[in-house]
Amino acid sequence: MLQNITGILIDRSRRLGYSGIMNIHYKDLKKNDEIRTKQLGTPVSGKLIESPKQGRGLKKTILIWSKGSEIGMFDEHGSVWATDVTEVLRNGAWLQVTGQPAGSLKQLNGIPEALQSASV
């Protein structure tokens, strides 16, 4: 039986072969969480510099410190789309992040309308 406890799914029946926490909602991420992102093409680890929950809703872009040195690039901070955050480190295990808000128009519809009508 799957139970939802504060946005975290737990499999108590072991039907899925895993008895611990399986994933975590984007809204439950906190400042200074260790994360993995895919904005550089290859997943790299990083750290949240700000909380995704600000004001009334969730941020579509979030400020992180990205460890690009893991793949031969520079370590630096910057904004990434919420959809690029894939995993978070909690209690020594990497958990899949779900429930991210949709990102840009390009991510929603393929190509923005303004670019579709532009002649090349």
Q: Does the global pTM surpass 0.95?
A: no
Using alpha carbons, list the distances in angstroms from residue 16 to 64, 76, 88, 93, 119: 32, 38, 20, 17, 51
Domain ranges of the chain: 25-101
Side-chain half-sphere CA neighbours of 54 within 13 A: 10
Cα separation of 66 and 73, whole Å?
10
**In which element (H, E) is residue 10 found?**
strand 8-11
> In this structure, are residues 94 and 87 in contact, taking their beta carbons and an 8 Å threshold?
yes
pLDDT tens for 42-94 read 999 999 999 999 888 899 999 999 999 999 999 999 999 999 999 999 888 89
pLDDT tens for 14-46 read 555 554 557 899 999 999 999 999 999 899 999
